Chain A
Amino acid sequence: MRRRRVRLAVPVPLLVPATVGVAFLVLPLAGLLARTPWAQLGSHLATPGVGQALRLSLISASLATLLSLVMGVPLAWVLARSGIRGRSVLRALVTVPLVLPPVVGGVALFLVLGRNGLVGSWLDETFGITIPFTTTAVVIAETFVAMPFLVISVEGALRAADTRFEDVAATLGAGRWTTFRRVTLPLVAPGVAAGAVLCWARALGEFGATITFAGNFPGTTQTMPLAVYLALQRDPEAAIVLSLVLLLVSLATLLLLRDRWLGRSGTPVA
């Protein structure tokens, strides 16, 4: 059911800054469209570097999202449901990457997983594995930055979900793990989906941590945002085309999210 809203006249002191705000947010995007070299669009997109960067971006963002789901959903459950001590401290720690400048995240990852890092030196000596400046590093950097978005979203969904359904499941003989799989997870599926989309979008746009920890090697670590930055210095037209692609992907993400958020609530998504 939708309530009818009364349309209120907007007071001028609110209307003027609001209009400026809209212009501020929309004009740059309009400018991007205005400057797009539509005629050469095809040839720019056909450049081998573009396809490579786009493919790498999509794959690494998807892997980062998958990794975030595997670790983030259980983590969100622990934050929302468990009675462990120090939960608020844990939540603060988990959300640090949200506010941390990504470059700092990249440096931190480098110090831990770099060849001379705490874990990295061990990996190197024991298995001969080096992580920095590989595609793996891209996925790790993106996961580090994007996972908190998923955790926060899923935790919110879990808190909003009616825990009495879990009580009902228990009285019907379901253990905690079964209850989680058969009841809790389906109930918060829309929240998980929204979180995953947010996480994916954040991973796709990741720049700072990636360039710090993974470098900028075409084919292995040069993702779309890195390619845009580089192209802007060499070939501004190519940069505009690449930006346009990212803008389209972002808009598609937004549409997808809107459907999740405004879709019929209470009906299963899975």
Chain B
Amino acid sequence: MSLSARVVVARGSLALDVAAGVADGEVLAVLGPNGAGKSTLLRVLAGLLPPDDGRVEVDGAVWDDADARTHVPADGRSLGVVFQDALLFPHLTLGENVAFGLRMRGVPKATREATAGAWLDRVGLAGLGDRRPAQLSGGQAQRAALARALVVEPALLLLDEPLSALDARTRLTVRAELRRHLADFPGSTVLVTHDPVDAMALADRVVVVEDGRIVQAGTPAEINRRPRTDYVARLVGLSLLPGTGEGRTVRLDSGGVVAVADDAAGPVFAAVRPESVALYLSRPDGSPRNVWPATLAGATLHGATVRCELTGEVPLVADVTETAFAELGLAPGARVWATVKASEVAVYAR
């Protein structure tokens, strides 16, 4: 393990207590809602905030140890940090920004200019070294911020919502580039984000933090397929139905019964993808095993599909095409029938 950390911080209503390890070359995403303590965790790892308790160790060097009263401040750590807003120094040129870390390490001017130039080249900003940050687009600024963080070849790279300040189109390209740079980065990376797409696209492992605790950890695929909390389920767009397995049915805690394809026993989650839910105005003929009456609580348009929030004994989210939505003449408050094939319901232990 290159980074191994346990961080405890109590601040007002926040009680943060998480432990995590990140190997060399590995990217760990810390996914969680606002106020979950993600940024606090990042500030502790960066040395900007001493933890109340715990230990932070990178490559065998102890950066924080509450018991031994060890605290290495940020400027003593081998770090690179990219913040949400690129935070390029406005009074310095792009080249001077990227070279800042090298300057602090006493690298001679000629060398640091050459290195900074090479990094600007690498992030696709060749020839812009003389520009001022105010003259850059959001995407360019964030690329420069990445170069500034990586130029010192840090042991630990911290990314704090690096893409969330960008517009949707720029985010796509910068995300793809970031993925490439992270693949080349030999140290450990911690990515803090509230966007599951960032976590899925960039991370090797994900920890989900809610209210200061890790509520789920796993690979992006696991998190994506088998969410364990409502928050994660909403993020990955699944309806999460906690219940008790009784053979090929799951009796939901909220009432209602879901038919499933595999045997299930004990406390389980049943998870339903929005695209596997079909809606009808009258009870459908034939024998889909899961048919529930429901009320359309809300509908939002995503591209060409309409995401429908359904309430009833089995609360679900359904995606239907815009055309189908129009043909059914649906409007919030409408009574509908929702069906899901048993084979489309994922079941896993709680």
Nearest neighbor of B106 in chain A, beta-carbon distance: A173
Known interface pairs A183-B89, A267-B132. Does A173 touch B104 (Cβ–Cβ under 8 Å)?
yes
Report if B105 contacts A (CB, 8 A).
yes
Report if B334 contacts A (CB, 8 A).
no
Report if B73 contacts A (CB, 8 A).
yes
Of B79, B81, B89, the residue contacting A165 (CB under 8 A) is: B89
Contact residues, B184-224 vs A (CB, 8 A): none
B104 touches A172 (CB 8 A): yes
Residues of A within 8 Å of B148, CB to CB, are 172
Nearest neighbor of B105 in chain A, beta-carbon distance: A173
Minimum CB–CB distance from A20 to chain B (whole Å) comes to 44
Known interface pairs A178-B104, A266-B134, A267-B132. Does A171 touch B46 (Cβ–Cβ under 8 Å)?
yes
B83 touches A164 (CB 8 A): yes
B81 touches A171 (CB 8 A): yes
Nearest neighbor of A176 in chain B, beta-carbon distance: B75
B91 touches A187 (CB 8 A): yes
A171 touches B87 (CB 8 A): no
Minimum CB–CB distance from B1 to chain A (whole Å) comes to 22
Minimum CB–CB distance from B76 to chain A (whole Å) comes to 8
Report if B227 contacts A (CB, 8 A).
no
Minimum CB–CB distance from B213 to chain A (whole Å) comes to 26
Q: How far apart are the CA atoms of A178 and B106 in the complex, in Å? A: 12
Of A162, A172, A175, the residue contacting B101 (CB under 8 A) is: A172
Q: What is the number of residues of chain B that contact chain A, defined by CB distance less than 8 Å?
A: 26
Known interface pairs A172-B104, A174-B75, A183-B89. Does A267 touch B47 (Cβ–Cβ under 8 Å)?
no
A167 touches B48 (CB 8 A): yes
Minimum CB–CB distance from B217 to chain A (whole Å) comes to 26
B73 touches A268 (CB 8 A): no
Contact residues, A157-211 vs B (CB, 8 A): 162, 164-165, 167-175, 178, 182-183, 186-187, 189
Of A167, A174, A187, the residue contacting B104 (CB under 8 A) is: A174
Q: How far apart are the CA atoms of A183 and B158 in the complex, in Å? A: 21
Minimum CB–CB distance from B74 to chain A (whole Å) comes to 4
Minimum CB–CB distance from A5 to chain B (whole Å) comes to 25
Of B48, B85, B132, B134, the residue contacting A171 (CB under 8 A) is: B48
B79 touches A169 (CB 8 A): no
Nearest neighbor of A174 in chain B, beta-carbon distance: B104
Minimum CB–CB distance from B186 to chain A (whole Å) comes to 19
Residues of B within 8 Å of A178, CB to CB, are 104
Minimum CB–CB distance from B9 to chain A (whole Å) comes to 16
Residues of A within 8 Å of B46, CB to CB, are 167, 171
A267 touches B104 (CB 8 A): no
Residues of B within 8 Å of A187, CB to CB, are 89-91
Known interface pairs A266-B134, A267-B134. Does A171 touch B104 (Cβ–Cβ under 8 Å)?
no
- Count of A-B residue pairs with CB < 8 Å: 65
Report if B80 contacts A (CB, 8 A).
yes
Report if A270 contacts B (CB, 8 A).
yes
Q: How far apart are the CA atoms of A187 and B87 in the complex, in Å? A: 12
Nearest neighbor of A173 in chain B, beta-carbon distance: B104
A170 touches B74 (CB 8 A): yes
Over the window 123-135 of chain B, the binary record of Cβ atoms lying under 8 Å from chain A Cβ atoms (1 yes, 0 no) is: 0000000001010
Q: How far apart are the CA atoms of A221 and B59 in the complex, in Å? A: 66
Minimum CB–CB distance from A190 to chain B (whole Å) comes to 11
Report if B119 contacts A (CB, 8 A).
no
Minimum CB–CB distance from B256 to chain A (whole Å) comes to 49
Minimum CB–CB distance from B3 to chain A (whole Å) comes to 15
Residues of A within 8 Å of B81, CB to CB, are 167-168, 171
Q: How far apart are the CA atoms of A186 and B81 in the complex, in Å? A: 22
B90 touches A266 (CB 8 A): yes
Of B85, B91, B152, B158, the residue contacting A172 (CB under 8 A) is: B152
Nearest neighbor of B133 in chain A, beta-carbon distance: A266
Looking at A170, A173, A187, the one whose CB has the most chain B CB atoms below 10 A away is: A173
Residues of B within 8 Å of A169, CB to CB, are 89, 100
Known interface pairs A164-B87, A270-B91. Does A170 touch B47 (Cβ–Cβ under 8 Å)?
yes
Contact residues, B246-298 vs A (CB, 8 A): none
A171 touches B91 (CB 8 A): no
Of A167, A173, A268, the residue contacting B152 (CB under 8 A) is: A173
B100 touches A172 (CB 8 A): yes
Residues of A within 8 Å of B47, CB to CB, are 170-171
Q: How far apart are the CA atoms of A106 and B246 in the complex, in Å? A: 91
Minimum CB–CB distance from A263 to chain B (whole Å) comes to 14
Given contacts A162-B87, A167-B74, A173-B104, 4 further A-B contacts (CB under 8 A): A165-B89, A169-B89, A172-B100, A270-B91
A-B contact pairs, 6 of them (CB 8 A): A164-B83, A169-B100, A171-B158, A173-B105, A182-B100, A187-B89
Chain B residues at the A interface, C-beta cutoff of 8 Å: 46-48, 73-75, 77, 79-81, 83, 85, 87, 89-91, 100-101, 104-105, 132, 134, 148-149, 152, 158
